[in-house]
Amino acid sequence: MKKALLAFTFILIAFNSTFAQDFCSKYYPMKEGSSFTYDIYNKKDKLDGTTNYLVTNVVDQGGVTQATMQIKYSDAKGKQELDSDYKISCTGKGIKIDFISLMPRQMLDQYKDMDMEIDMTGTDIELPNNLEVGQQLAEANVVAKMNMSGIKMNIEVNTIDRKVLSKETVTTPAGTFECYVLIETIASKTMGANIQINSKTWLSEGIGMVKNETYSKKGNVNSKTVLAKFSK
């Protein structure tokens, strides 16, 4: 269960750390076939895994563009541990992500096999196009209430304290980029397991995330994600 919660939290971070396209959103992909690869390092600065993103489908309807993002995570040995997707919608002022689609398919399939009822509520995560230093960003929340033969369990994930901190230049294996620096806290809890992740993301117009770091409550770096390559 804790591993599933970690996967759920990982996708939330991934959403706030993705890419860009040239039309609807400055910081999220709406071009089918765009792909991005990120290398993830642990607190000892050793390679922990690789995440691949691919825009698999884009639909324009009623002034709204919706893209389906496929995400695959493999560990340092190349073993795939997560395969899921989520949906992003854009109206031209920015983007929203469907909170329901954030729940990993593998997690939902596992509960379905267990004949478990799941009720999800929440607030879509938003990122506007007009970012500026000092800007406060809207918070988000996802709650999954589960019931299996009278046994109840809740998963709650809150994305809070979202803010545009500064502008910086960042270099990764994919190049050098001018970035906005975004900070936020993702707090997750279920069945007595509480996870709090403080996150800092370097976001570049036309590319999206080029770097992300997560920190412990004491401010130590827990993980680092850097853009290794991209194609759009």
- State residue 211's pLDDT score: 95
Tell me which residues of the chain have a pLDDT lower than 70. Answer: 1-23, 28-29, 98-114
- State residue 165's pLDDT score: 97
Token code pair at residue 93: 């002022």
DSSP reduced 3-state for 126: strand
Q: How far apart are CA 169 and CA 178, in angstroms?
A: 5
CATH numeric code, 2-231: 2.40.360.20
Domain boundaries, the chain: 2-231
- State residue 19's pLDDT score: 42
What pTM, to 2 d.p., does this model score? 0.79
- State residue 114's pLDDT score: 65
Q: Say which residues have a Cβ less than 8 Å from residue 70's Cβ, sequence separation at least 6.
A: 53, 54, 55, 56, 83, 84, 85
Give whole-number Cα distances, 23 to 17, 98, 139, 144, in Å: 19, 20, 25, 34
Q: What is the pLDDT of residues 9-30, one digit of tens each?
A: 555 555 454 444 445 777 766 7
